[in-house]
Amino acid sequence: MAMHNIGRPPQVQPGSLERFRKQAAGATRDKETTTAGSATRSDPAAGERLEISDQARKLESMRRALIAGRRAYEEAPEVRQERLAEVRSRLEAGAYEAPEVRQTVADRLGAVLRKLDALIE
């Protein structure tokens, strides 16, 4: 705000207050319909329409999955340094090179990836 406007009421553009009132009133009357490729929300009083694409829906789903992942990470127990040192020494000794161990790791990783795919869809 400029110094010369201090103490004066803010200037409102003509019609902006009325548009705001219509939008606020229309928000409670909006109706939503779903088509094959998008969702459409219309406000007949304002003559406006909003379409939400499948891509936008997928992005929102991914955003929610990311938030859920962050929460899970934050709630996870802290790394125990002694356990980490034990696993590192076993790794260096080649304990995880056996085909059975590799298969177990691949199976577990595959399960995690399938869960992530399900969250995104």
pLDDT in tens, 39-60: 556 566 667 888 888 888 889 9
Q: Does pLDDT of 89 surpass 80? A: yes
pLDDT tens-digit map of 1-49: 344 555 555 555 566 566 666 666 665 444 444 444 555 565 666 678 8
Q: What is the DSSP letter of 6?
A: T
Q: How far is CA 83 from CA 14, 75, 97, 115, in A?
A: 68, 19, 19, 27
Q: What is the DSSP letter of 31?
A: E
Domain edges within the chain: 55-120
